[in-house]
Amino acid sequence: MWIEYAIASFFASAAFGIIYQAPRNTLIKCGLVGMVGWMIYAFLVWKEVDSVPATLTASFVIALVSQTLARRSRTPMIIFSVPGIIPLVPGSLAYDAMRNFVLNDYSAAISIAAKAFMISGAIAFGLVFSEVLNQIMKKMRQTKAQVR
């Protein structure tokens, strides 16, 4: 099951890299970022962690990895993080919610939609949190340099 997950998430992320026109030489890295994120998420869910904190952790790690890769290759971070978070994105929940809305099952639809909103919030929070961390580190490095 884990090998299946690894293969599927690698190719799904790299394929999204192609759909989103990521530069050719970054495709493999895009796939790897997506794979790392999905494996963390799947592992935490398998350990019976709720899907919201699992998503938060995974997207935090994705953002950290993307930042490192971006700094090394001097490209914007979103080239790696966008294809990387695609597996985490609650597309299937959003679809499920909409299907329930259209089938007049409003109470189920609302609760699924709330879940989808929480998960997209968790992804965004993970990304923002690692960005803030990065900025703090950068500022600390600058002040250190000034003191010297």
Footprint on residues 41-100 left by other proteins (CB under 8 A): 74-76, 78-79, 82, 85-87, 89-92, 94-99
Binding range to other proteins, per CB under 8 A, among 3-11, 46-54, 134-142? 3-11
CA-CA distance, 112 to 37, in Å (whole number)? 23
Please give the Cα distance from 68 to 5 (Å, whole number).
24
Query: Which of these, 36, 59, 74, 45, lies nearest to 128 by C-alpha position?
Result: 59
Q: Are 22 and 39 in contact (CB under 8 A)?
A: no
Give Dmax (Cα) for the chain.
66
> Interface mask (CB under 8 A) for other proteins, residues 17-46, using x and -?
xxxxxxxx-------------x--------
List contacts with other proteins (CB under 8 A): 4-5, 7-9, 11-12, 14-24, 38, 74-76, 78-79, 82, 85-87, 89-92, 94-99, 101-103, 116-117, 120-121, 123-125, 127-128
